[in-house]
Amino acid sequence: EAGVTQFPSHSVIEKGQTVTLRCDPISGHDNLYWYRRVMGKEIKFLLHFVKESKQDESGMPNNRFLAERTGGTYSTLKVQPAELEDSGVYFCASSQDGGRKTQYFGPGTRLLVL
């Protein structure tokens, strides 16, 4: 069974540009999460989808970040315009339906904003 996949694995962009990250969850997983680790800090929750609906987006840093999950399958996280402080590793995770299901993480996308 394929795990959670993320694309791209690395992205280097200039301040002010736009970047879109993609996450493909494990097939059949209704829950999809985005997290971010900024250099030297902890992994922080960004948001949680249940199917195509945003269940919790309390961790989204500001309105430059837009997450979508049209159709309830893959998700995209767009940063527009990117700022230097957006640099970090963006992780996606998915889990089956239900409260205590294990979250399976993707390999992450390393974003560097210059």
Partner 1 sequence: AQRVTQPEKLLSVFKGAPVELKCNYSYSGSPELFWYVQYSRQRLQLLLRHISRESIKGFTADLNKGETSFHLKKPFAQEEDSAMYYCALTPGRNSGGYQKVTFGTGTKLQVIP
Interface residues with partner 1 (CB under 8 A) are 3-4, 31, 33, 35, 40-45, 48, 55-56, 58-59, 91, 95, 99-100, 102-108
> Least distance from C-beta 102 to partner 1, angstroms?
5
Q: Determine the 3-state secondary structure of 31 from DSSP.
A: strand
Nearer to partner 1, 13 or 57 (CB): 57
- Please compute, for residue 60, the number of CA atoms within 13 A of its CA located in the half-sphere on the CB side: 18
Nearer to partner 1, 56 or 85 (CB): 56
Nearer to partner 1, 18 or 55 (CB): 55
> Least distance from C-beta 113 to partner 1, angstroms?
22
From the list 40, 18, 32, 22, the residue with the least C-alpha distance to 90 is 22
Q: Could you give the CA distance from residue 17 to residue 35 in angstroms, rounded to a whole number?
A: 21
**Nearby residues of 80 by Cβ (< 8 Å), 6 or more positions away:** 18, 19, 64, 66
> Least distance from C-beta 84 to partner 1, angstroms?
21
